[in-house]
Each structure stands twice: as C-alpha cells, then as structure tokens.
Amino acid sequence: MEKPPAPTARHIKVAVLDESELVVHGLRSMLEPHSAYVTVVPHRSGEASPLCDMTLYDPAGPGRASGTRGMPQRFPSRMVAYGWDCSPEAVSTEMSRGAAGFVSKWLPSRRLVWNLLHIADGRTRVDAWTGRDDTSSPSAEQWHLTQRETEVLALIAAGRANREIAEETNLSINSVKSYIRGAYAKIEVTSRSQAVLWAIQHGLLMSGDADVEVHQSRPMDLSARV
C-alpha cells in the first residue's frame, strides 16, 4: 500500500489543554528535537485561547473523566484527542464528536509530529498505536475481503475522502465506491463511521509513517517519502 501524501513542512503551534505542568514540560522536551516544526503551549479552559493551529485534549483528562468525557466546546482551533485510552470505543467516540484527529500518548515523537503536521494540513488522522500488538481481535481475513477492499477500508480509517482514495490508489471514483459497497456488505456495516470503527477493531489502521525522519538541522525532506 502506498504511503499517505507527505504533509507540508511548516512550523505549527499546538496548544495542550488542561494538562499539568509536568505533562506540558514533558511534551515540550519530547518534541524539542523537532522544534523547527512544532511549538507546544499550555492552555487552561476559561482562559483566552492562544493563537494556534490545533489544541490537544485528553478525553479522560481533568474535568472530563467523571461524566463529562469528550471534546471541549467553543475553541477556535482544531481539536485533536490525545490520550492513553486508544480503544476502538474511545477513538470512535471522539471522532464522532467532530475531533480533527485522534493520536495516542504512546506515540514516539517523530510519529506524533508526522500526524500533527498532517492534521495541520487539513487532513483527519487516527493513530491509536499503543506499542504492542493486539491479538484479541479476529483477523480481517476471516471476512474474505479482497486486497483492494482491505486497502480502501484502511484508507477510510485513516480519514481519506473517496476522492483522495481514488487518487492514492489510481482508481476511478466509481471503482472506489464499488469497493466500498463490497467491503461494507462483507463486514456488515452501513456507514462510514461504522467502517472506521470496524477497521480500528481489526487492525487496519495505517501505520507506515513510523519510520519518517524529522531533522532539526535542516528542513524536513518529505518529498522522497511519498
């Protein structure tokens, strides 16, 4: 499967909502080698929102863990869920609420930066990697999906629109729709949100971005990695 298009190598500002000073400083230190591309700023709910490209929030963070789980409201930047709980249910809940993406707190720094740059480019990204294999879910092969159907489902789970899938797979838009209908029938879902949840549950999240190099000393060379 081809890798997703490279994001634009530009500097982005990321606000971190309602996290402790320890967490904010830890995230800053983690991303310091990539400071040419990302700046982390703290943000407290109830205070003026900093100018930023996106806001990271923990769905189970302070003020949301006890009955108010979910995305905060009335923030001008794109909201991106950033949590330890990467279960299919947690991911599906936040994406259905309109989050621009879901990124795991387990992600290594380069992979996190790669995802954030994609989101800043206007794409929807889900990367719920936890650093360990999940063998509890049945294999997608049990549903007798073709290679193309599997590929299309993985791209749907990665947030691609039908037009983007057509461009990345060199298929016509009608062929993409046909593969989607065939896959939906086999896995017994009727909507895109259900397909995303199914793909997450069965290990079809795209994870080919983990080896992307991000260098502080020179502009990020992404063109060779498309």
104-134 pLDDT per residue, tens? 999 999 889 988 988 998 888 888 888 765 4
Is 210 a member of any domain? no
> Residue 83 forms beta bridges with which residues?
104
pLDDT at 56 (0 to 100):
94
Indicate if 63 and 118 belong to the same structural domain: yes
Indicate if 112 and 180 belong to the same structural domain: no
Query: Residue 95 is which amino acid?
Result: M
Contact 124, 54 (CB under 8 A): no
pLDDT at 96 (0 to 100):
82
What three-state secondary structure class fits 41? strand
Range of the domain at 58: 12-133
Q: Give the chain's domain count.
A: 2
Indicate if 65 and 112 belong to the same structural domain: yes
Token pair recorded at residue 155: 């791209």
Is 25 a member of any domain? yes
Of 84, 101, 133, the last residue of a domain is 133
Query: Residues 146-178: pLDDT tens digits?
Result: 889 988 988 887 778 899 999 989 999 999 999
Can you tell me the distance from the alpha carbon of 16 to that of 13, in angstroms, rounded to the nearest whole number? 10
Q: pTM of the entire structure?
A: 0.60
Q: Model confidence at 214, in pLDDT bands (50, 70, 90)?
A: very low
DSSP 13: E
